[in-house]
Amino acid sequence: MIMIYKAACKYFGLEVEKRIEDFLPEPEVPEIVIDDVEGRQQEIIHNTVQQVYPINRDDFNTREIAMVPQEVRGKFFDDLRKNYPVRREFQNTQVILADSVQRMADSEKIAEKLAGIGFKI
């Protein structure tokens, strides 16, 4: 949508005044504070991701397709697509590492990995 808007502005010689953020809803989770030093690095990353994108829901729904009768699978899948919840990308969420987490030996690795998948640190 934003590409069409920008192309139309360019074609008609208009200044681009809108950004993609102007068309999207605010992120449900704009900020996550990680203050729990319990658990392994993998658990901390998993729990952070789950707050923004509960992938288990998508996994469950996709696997459920195989459990519905063959003749309704297409409609079932189409309904999943039509009713898919709005989800913002990780880059729209700021992750703050509390002092206790920053003192962890592998805190830099945690921050690096979260940034690597798109979170703002």
Each domain of the chain, given as residue ranges in start order, spans 27-116
pLDDT for 20-68, tens place per residue? 888 888 899 999 998 866 668 888 899 999 999 999 999 999 999 999 9
Q: Which CATH architecture has domain 27-116?
A: 2-Layer Sandwich (3.30)
DSSP 120: B
70-104 tens-digit pLDDT: 999 999 999 999 999 888 899 999 999 887 776 67
Q: Is the pTM of this model over 0.85?
A: no
Alpha-carbon span 30 to 117, nearest angstrom: 16
Residue 78's contacts (CB-CB under 8 Å, 6 or more residues apart) are: none
Six-digit token string for 83 = 């009713």
